[in-house]
Amino acid sequence: MGLYLRPRTIEEAVAALADSRFVVLAGGTDFYPARVGRALDENVVDITAVGALRGIHQDGDVWRIGATTTWRDVLDAPLPPLFDGLKLAAREVGGAQIQNAATVAGNLCNASPAADSVPVLMALDARLELRSAAGTRMLPIADFIRGNRRTAARPDELVSAILVPQRSARAATHFLKLGARRYLVISIAMAAGVIEADTAGRIVAAHIAIGACSEVAQRLPGLEQALLGRYLSDSQDAVEPQHFSALRPIDDVRASAAYRRDGAMTLTRRLLQELAARLVESHRDTA
């Protein structure tokens, strides 16, 4: 039987992690499935009693999603449209039971190629705050997730928050998930995006990310570049196959690699169509 610590403060938590034999536990929705029929004998730091780690707050020009914030918290929180995509992702994570327990940060730390949170947060330019006894550092998500189930977090580090920069009220976000069934399904492909347009309906910022089509979700810089300056109405026409060439989808039990690549393009077109519709709508409202 291992040790089990349930600290009340971040300081206590990181102090414990300074002893690198600990596994961090929050919602448990990845921890237990990896241990079916096996003894539970690791040393564990359960961070769910650290009150300071829970919740979503605006702090200047940054939104701070605490490490133990659950998907349910995201759904229940009154958040600006910037988080529409994240809320859509929240509704697609597992079923209601999982949404009630699982944390957004835990989804990142698990670093599954099919993690539902990653494309949205990548598109939002989110960074992670990592705390340790040695101090605090920030990492963009793309630098944090290093591969399939691999992150840049040192054993003594705790992901304490996800930081999402505030954007103009003209930004819209969206998320699309493709799976072989409704509820409780691991993604075949995902697309997430943030688009901002000027009053003339020209795109001034575009962040598009694709999940489950490479070891780590990826932004599509070529497409983002191609979208800049385009009118919302023809944003879909910017999508070209070469924008997806950096993806490295795999064949597995859920889908073929070719299908994933093809599906990613389709999802991206639909994502842009929806974002354009939404921005046109909101411009009309504000006009």
Partner 1 sequence: MTPPDAGARQNAAIDGDAAVRFIVNGRPAAVAASPLTRLAQVLRDDLGLTGTKIGCDAGDCGACTVLLDGRQVCACLTPMGQVEGRSVETVEGLRQDGTLSKLQQAFLAHGAAQCGICTPGMLMSASDLLRRTARPSRAEVLDAIGGTLCRCTGYQKIIDAVLAAATSAGVDSPPVGQAVGARAIRVDGIAKVAGTESYGADAIPHDALWLRVVRSPHAHARFALGDLEAVRRAHPGLEQILTARDVPFNGFGIYPDIKDQPVLADGIVRYRGEAVLALVGTREVVMRLADEVLPIVWTMLPPITGVDEARAPGAALVQDDRPGNLLMEGGVRCGDVEAALANAEAVAEIAVETPFVEHAYIEPEAGWARRVGDRLEIHVTTQTPYMDRDEVASVMRLKPQQVRIVPTACGGGFGGKLDLSVQPLVALAAWRLGRPVACIYTRPESMAATTKRHPARIQARFAATVGERLTACDVDAVFDTGAYASWGPTVANRVPVHAMGPYRVPNMRSRGAAYFTHNPPSGAFRGFGVPQAAIAHEAAMDALAEQLGVDRLEFRHRNALRVGDRTATGQVLHHSAGLAACLEALRPRWRDSLRHVAAFNAQARKAATHRRRGIGIGCMWYGIGNTSMSNPSTMRVGLGRDGTLTLYNGAVDIGQGSNTIMIQIAADALGLPMAQFRLVAGDTDRTADAGKTSASRQTFVSGKAAELAGADLRRQILRLANAGTNAALALDAAVLTVSDGETVRRIDLAALAADPDGNVLVGKGTFDPPTTPLDADGQGVPYATYAFAAQTAEVEVDLELGTTKVLRIVAAHDVGRAINPMQVEGQIEGGIAQGLGLALMEEYLPGRTENLHDYLIPTAGDMPLIETILIEDGEPLGPSGAKGVGEPGLVPTAPAILGAIAHATGVRLTRVPVLPHRLRAALQAKPGDRP
* Residues of this chain that bind partner 1 (CB under 8 A): 1-2, 4, 6, 25, 27-29, 31-33, 36-41, 44, 46, 48, 72, 91, 94-98, 100-101, 178, 180-186, 188, 253-256, 258-260, 262-263, 266-267
Minimum CB distance to partner 1, residue 196 (Å): 27
* Closer residue to partner 1, CB minimum distance, 23 or 134: 23
Whole-angstrom distance, CA of residue 5 vs CA of residue 194: 39
Q: Residue 253 Cβ, how far from partner 1 at the closest point, in Å?
A: 5
Reference 216, options 245, 195, 247; nearest CA is 247
Smallest separation, CB 31 to partner 1 (Å): 8
CB neighbours of residue 157 within 10 Å: 25
According to DSSP, the β-strands at 43-46 and 22-25 are parallel
Q: Which CB sits closer to partner 1, 11 or 76?
A: 76
CB of 218 to partner 1, least distance (A): 20
Q: How many residues does the chain have?
A: 287
CB of 103 to partner 1, least distance (A): 12
Nearer to partner 1, 186 or 275 (CB): 186
> What is the closest distance, in whole angstroms, from the C-beta atom of residue 280 to partner 1 in the complex?
18
Question: 212: which DSSP letter?
Answer: S
The identity of residue 198, as a single letter, is: D
Task: Pull the structure tokens for residue 149.
Answer: 């189930």
Q: What is the nearest approach in angstroms of partner 1 to the Cβ of residue 223?
A: 18
Cβ proximity to partner 1, 25 vs 197, nearer residue: 25
State in angstroms the smallest separation of the CB of 267 from partner 1: 8
Q: For residue 47, what is the DSSP state?
A: G
**Closer to partner 1 at the Cβ: 181 or 284?**
181
**Amino acid in position 147:** G
**CB contact at 8 A, 135 and 127:** no
**Is the CB of 66 or the CB of 124 nearer to partner 1?**
66
What is d(CA 259, CA 214) in angstroms, rounded to the nearest whole number?
Answer: 13
Query: Nearer Cβ to partner 1, position 68 or 160?
Result: 68
Sheet holding 56-59, edge to edge: 56-59, 62-66, 158-165, 127-132, 135-140
- First vs last Cα of the chain: how many Å apart? 64
CA angle at residue 56 from 171 to 54, to 5 degrees?
155
Query: How many other C-beta atoms are found inside a 10 Å radius of the C-beta of residue 136?
Result: 13
Torsion angles phi and psi, residue 140, rounded to 5:
-60, 150
Q: Which is nearer to partner 1, 36 or 287 (CB)?
A: 36
